[in-house]
Chains A and B, each alone.
Chain A
Amino acid sequence: MRSVRSLAAHPNAVIGLVVLVVLALASLIGPLISPHDPERLALDRAFRGPSASHWLGTDELGRDLLTRLMAGGRISLLIGIGAVGLGLLSGGTIGLISGYAGGMVDLVIQRVNDAMFAFSSLLLALALVAILGPGVTNVIISVGIATIPVFIRLGRAQAMVIRNQPFVQTAELMGVGRPRILSRHVLRNALTPLVVQSTVVLGSAILAAAGLGFLGLGVQEPQAEWGAMLGAARQFIFADSRLILVPGVAIFLAVVAFNLLGDGLRDALDPRLTVK
């Protein structure tokens, strides 16, 4: 496919993809093949540096850092995909309807969305966690709802572009019912760009989830989550900064990878660089 070829022309995107694949594999398979239990305490082995049996050393409660990192990766991915899925499905649908319908419906939805848009992912998620309480599921719901304003806007933009395409106008003229046009034509064509744009939102969802974890409001102990690991290791900042460095690097790499991938996908699908 031409898009795939032009994707390869963007080394950044490829790097992002590779990093993500590595992270995903490590997160999914790692905990399964690791000899260590990410949640079992072993206080006698706490604060060990990297060694043959513990490649990244142990944390403050003696747990293998690498295994916890991989388990944390799994949770982060789960939260990210869950939240973005929630946002994409609900926000995207509302956005598509708003953009396609136009008129009063569009106006009202836009005004409300503009007001909601002001809040960033983290603040909105914080407020929702306050109401719902901590825990993985609630984090997914909170971060997911927090991404809805973005998806409404993206969906609306897509719908407005597709609405003006000749094939849609033809369908309308032929008398095809609007709900049908929406579900068959608009949705199908909007899906790809929306999914592409989701990659960047995934990055910020992971950041928001990690932020919640850091504050102790997200995933609860003893579950491993990168942000929570950072928050727990905070008091040892001067004693053993490795415990802070490692999970932070993991978050950073994951988000950078998503951003690189998102950038690359966007460039590859954007036919703006053709010579006249």
Chain B
Amino acid sequence: MLGATSTVGQHPTDPVDPVLSVRDLSTTLRTGQGDVHAVRGVSFDLAPGEVLGVVGESGAGKSMLLLSIAGLAPASIVRSIEGAALLGGRDLLRLTPRQRQRVLGHELTMIFQDPGTTLNPLMAVGDQIAEVITNHAAVPRRQLWARVIRLLDTVGIPAAARRVDDYPHQLSGGMRQRVGIAIAIANEPKVILADEPTTALDVTIQAQILDVLAEARARTGAATILVTHDLGVIAEVADRVLVMYGGRVQESASVGTLFEDPRHPYSLALMSCQPRLHGDEPARSIPGSPPNVTEAVVGCVFAPRCSRRMSMCLEIEPELEPVEPGHPVACHAVNADLAGERTDVAAR
């Protein structure tokens, strides 16, 4: 069963059709210093109602992955987006602007990172929620506002009817993010793309927001892709995880597997960097710094910082190979381990 790679990441016994299918997504950006390959050959399937966590350091291409899928990457810096992102039979990357307008805010919605800047400061929050509804359906005024107030209530804003005409600056950061969630669930989407929704918030608020998100998902049955650099969030919310580094998926596994049996050296390093509540181990960090994205990648992009680096790693970029069903890893050292195991088994 080590050869099942066509639907990478999907559990082989799961018979349901994925709600979102991303194939070989690659995004190249143009910058003053040359071309940047922000996303390289990312593929995954998203099952309905599933939460897919995407974790990695800043600059690993996580946000750009979401923006590319949604088609919201700023046109002025994007040179090309290749691959496919299939939602309901249509390729999101090949939509006309009008088609995209119909999908965005409806079947596919986004939650952004910084609630301080993602809401229009000159517009009441109720109006901004109403906008996403009226963009996709003609709703009579009374029903519209009743729905908006109910949405605010759903995301846990107290005295929703009184706050519906408030401006963003009159709400706290946590409440603004709840408004963002309300906007994202207003039309019962199939997929929610959440780009670091809790990063800009206080730790105490983070938990609340995650709860709101969980409830919203339960209500709408939406699948979610949650991008974050916080493993704690992943542990709490995700069903499956993609570990990204240098624009590529380095490891993909169910959340339990990732925390119990991480294989990729980067994943291992990430796990060991988590500060432990007990014990005397000092906090660790991964030596080296994130890759210089303007330089062309030769070999494995993590090699310079990898403790298991071999000479092969500096020449050939490793492909994703399943370590076990539903757990692909891109690492030469891991492949070598596997080969060793196989020969061990064979030798016995």
B27 vs chain A, min Cβ distance (A): 12
Give chain B interface residues in 30-80, CB to chain A under 8 Å.
31-32, 36, 59, 63, 77
Asked if A1 lies at the interface with its beta carbon under 8 angstroms from chain B, I say: no
Interface size class of B (residues with CB under 8 A): under 10
Complex CA–CA separation, A9 to B77 (angstroms): 17
10 additional A-B pairs beyond A273-B32, A275-B36, beta carbons within 8 Å, are A6-B32, A9-B32, A274-B31, A274-B32, A275-B29, A275-B31, A275-B32, A275-B77, A276-B59, A276-B63
Contacts of A275 in B (CB 8 A): 29, 31-32, 36, 77
List A residues at the B interface (Cβ < 8 Å).
6, 9, 273-276
Complex CA–CA separation, A168 to B18 (angstroms): 56
| Chain A residue at minimum C-beta to C-beta distance from B74 | A275
Contacts of B59 in A (CB 8 A): 276
A1 vs chain B, min Cβ distance (A): 15
| Chain B residue at minimum C-beta to C-beta distance from A6 | B32
Contacts of B32 in A (CB 8 A): 6, 9, 273-275
Contacts of A6 in B (CB 8 A): 32
Contacts of B29 in A (CB 8 A): 275
- List 12 A–B pairs whose Cβ atoms lie within 8 Å, in order of A's numbering: A6-B32, A9-B32, A273-B32, A274-B31, A274-B32, A275-B29, A275-B31, A275-B32, A275-B36, A275-B77, A276-B59, A276-B63
A170 vs chain B, min Cβ distance (A): 25
Contacts of B63 in A (CB 8 A): 276
| Chain B residue at minimum C-beta to C-beta distance from A9 | B32
Complex CA–CA separation, A276 to B74 (angstroms): 12
| Chain A residue at minimum C-beta to C-beta distance from B63 | A276
The 10 closest A-B pairs by CB, nearest first: A275-B31, A275-B77, A275-B29, A275-B36, A273-B32, A9-B32, A274-B32, A276-B59, A6-B32, A275-B32
Complex CA–CA separation, A24 to B36 (angstroms): 43
Complex CA–CA separation, A273 to B33 (angstroms): 12
| Chain B residue at minimum C-beta to C-beta distance from A5 | B32
Complex CA–CA separation, A103 to B29 (angstroms): 46
Contacts of A273 in B (CB 8 A): 32
Complex CA–CA separation, A247 to B31 (angstroms): 43
Contacts of B31 in A (CB 8 A): 274-275
Most buried by B among A6, A9, A275, A276: A275
* Interface residues as binary, B69-110 with A (CB distance below 8 Å gives 1, 0 otherwise): 000000001000000000000000000000000000000000
| Chain A residue at minimum C-beta to C-beta distance from B29 | A275
Complex CA–CA separation, A276 to B113 (angstroms): 14
Complex CA–CA separation, A274 to B294 (angstroms): 13
Complex CA–CA separation, A128 to B29 (angstroms): 56
Complex CA–CA separation, A273 to B77 (angstroms): 11
Most buried by B among A6, A273, A274, A276: A276
